[in-house]
């Protein structure tokens, strides 16, 4: 657990999760949580530990391969739709929205806070649109099946911060350099991307149909790719579920042989040490 605070930062050493200290002893150091194991009891379960470890690692490998393949198919569709996307109309539409919503100057500093709004998990897609509605009662829904909103949201983000509005910018989990959602809490305005697998469930203030600005010629091919992407993602999610189940079994083997009271006491000691340097 590296730290930029004054004093000696710490690196946690617990099972396989280790962060190497950059400046050992002088700035950073290890905190060995492995000493809270009952080693003889744990070693007696070595066969079961190895089996569950291999199972979850294999499942994660299959998940990554399926999800990567799904994304590659999806990117072919994005590239094809991008070539026929009417950007000029989209820019004009967004320019009107900016002129209407971004009036005057904000009371902030133009700070950009980056947060993921959700992701694909072993439970399937999880998107926290409830967080959007808690901060911004006025929601613009961008219907964008072909991922054309990124540049438009980036321009909107730039104009908002130029006017000193603090924003929360939510990047794509698969393309972190591309925005999917933008929140301007001071104005109570949010812009959220909505597409199959990430559908906004609420009633928007306005709906901007970016899909209507793309006119791909071979719709049948796009539908085929969409089905293929869906099947690959389902396989990826199934593999994530297998990985989660195997990892839970692994933790079930380890947990009886860990002194959690000792771990918590050590964590409290280190937390107190770090907080003392911040005073």
- Say what the pLDDT of residue 277 is: 79
Condensed to tens digits (0 to 9), the pLDDT of residues 193-249 reads 999 999 999 999 999 999 999 888 888 999 999 999 999 999 999 999 999 999 999
Residue 120 scores a pLDDT above 60: yes
The closest of 93, 182, 191 to 141, measured between CA atoms, is: 191
Domain shared by 204 and 100, yes or no:
yes
Burial tier of 153 (Cβ tally within 10 Å: 0-12, 13-18, 19+) = buried
Does any domain span residue 158? yes
- Average pLDDT score over the chain: 91
The pTM (predicted TM-score) of the whole model is: 0.82
**Cα 157 to chain centroid, rounded:** 19
Phi, psi of 102 (to 5 degrees): -100, 75
Residue 112 scores a pLDDT above 50: yes
In angstroms, the first-to-last Cα distance of the chain is 20
Domain shared by 238 and 277, yes or no:
no
The closest of 33, 23, 38 to 270, measured between CA atoms, is: 33
Domain shared by 124 and 196, yes or no:
yes
Condensed to tens digits (0 to 9), the pLDDT of residues 31-41 reads 888 899 999 99
Domain shared by 145 and 244, yes or no:
no
- Write the CA distances from 18 to 9, 32, 33, 137, 241, integer angstroms: 14, 9, 10, 43, 25
The closest of 155, 115, 153 to 132, measured between CA atoms, is: 115
Domain shared by 97 and 210, yes or no:
yes
Which is more confident, 101 or 274? 101
Residue 115 scores a pLDDT above 70: yes
Domain shared by 135 and 76, yes or no:
no
The closest of 57, 69, 66 to 244, measured between CA atoms, is: 57
Phi, psi of 43 (to 5 degrees): -65, -30
Does any domain span residue 42? no
Residue 8 to residue 133: CA distance in whole angstroms? 41
Does any domain span residue 237? yes
- Say what the pLDDT of residue 180 is: 97
Domain shared by 185 and 90, yes or no:
yes
Residue 10: which domain range?
1-37+260-279
Domain end, chosen from 158, 188, 214, is at: 214
Domain shared by 181 and 267, yes or no:
no
- Say what the pLDDT of residue 182 is: 98
Domain shared by 128 and 183, yes or no:
yes
Residue 179 to residue 156: CA distance in whole angstroms? 11
The closest of 59, 63, 78, 252 to 148, measured between CA atoms, is: 78
Domain shared by 118 and 164, yes or no:
yes
Domains in the chain, number = 3
| CB-based contact 117:110 (threshold 8 Å) | no
| Torsional sign, CA 236, 241, 246, 250 | positive
Q: Classify 256 as helix, strand or coil.
A: helix
């Amino acid at each position: 657990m590296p730290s930029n605070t004054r004093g000696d930062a710490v690196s946690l050493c617990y099972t396989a999760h280790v962060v190497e200290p950059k400046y050992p002893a002088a700035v950073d150091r290890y905190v060995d949580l492995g000493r809270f194991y009952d080693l003889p009891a744990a070693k007696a379960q070595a066969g079961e530990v190895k089996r569950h470890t291999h199972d979850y690692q294999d499942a994660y490998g299959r998940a990554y391969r399926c999800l990567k393949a799904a994304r590659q198919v999806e990117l072919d569709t994005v590239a094809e739709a991008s070539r026929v996307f009417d950007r000029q109309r989209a820019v004009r539409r967004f320019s009107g929205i900016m002129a209407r919503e971004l009036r005057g100057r904000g009371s902030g500093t133009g700070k950009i806070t980056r947060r993921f709004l959700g992701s694909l998990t072993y439970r399937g897609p999880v998107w926290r649109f409830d967080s959007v509605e808690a901060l911004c009662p006025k929601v613009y829904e961008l219907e964008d099946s072909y991922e054309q909103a990124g540049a438009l949201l980036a321009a909107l983000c730039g104009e908002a911060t130029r006017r000193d509005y603090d924003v929360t910018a939510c990047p794509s989990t698969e393309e972190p350099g591309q925005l999917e959602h933008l929140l301007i809490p001071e104005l109570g305005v949010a812009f959220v991307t909505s597409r199959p697998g990430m559908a906004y469930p609420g009633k928007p203030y306005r709906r901007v149909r970016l899909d209507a600005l793309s006119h791909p010629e071979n719709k049948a091919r796009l539908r085929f790719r969409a089905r293929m992407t869906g099947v690959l993602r389902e396989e990826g999610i199934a593999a994530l579920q297998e990985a989660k189940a195997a990892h839970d079994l692994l933790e079930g083997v380890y947990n009886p042989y860990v002194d959690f009271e000792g771990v918590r006491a050590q964590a409290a000691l280190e937390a107190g040490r770090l907080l003392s340097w911040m005073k």
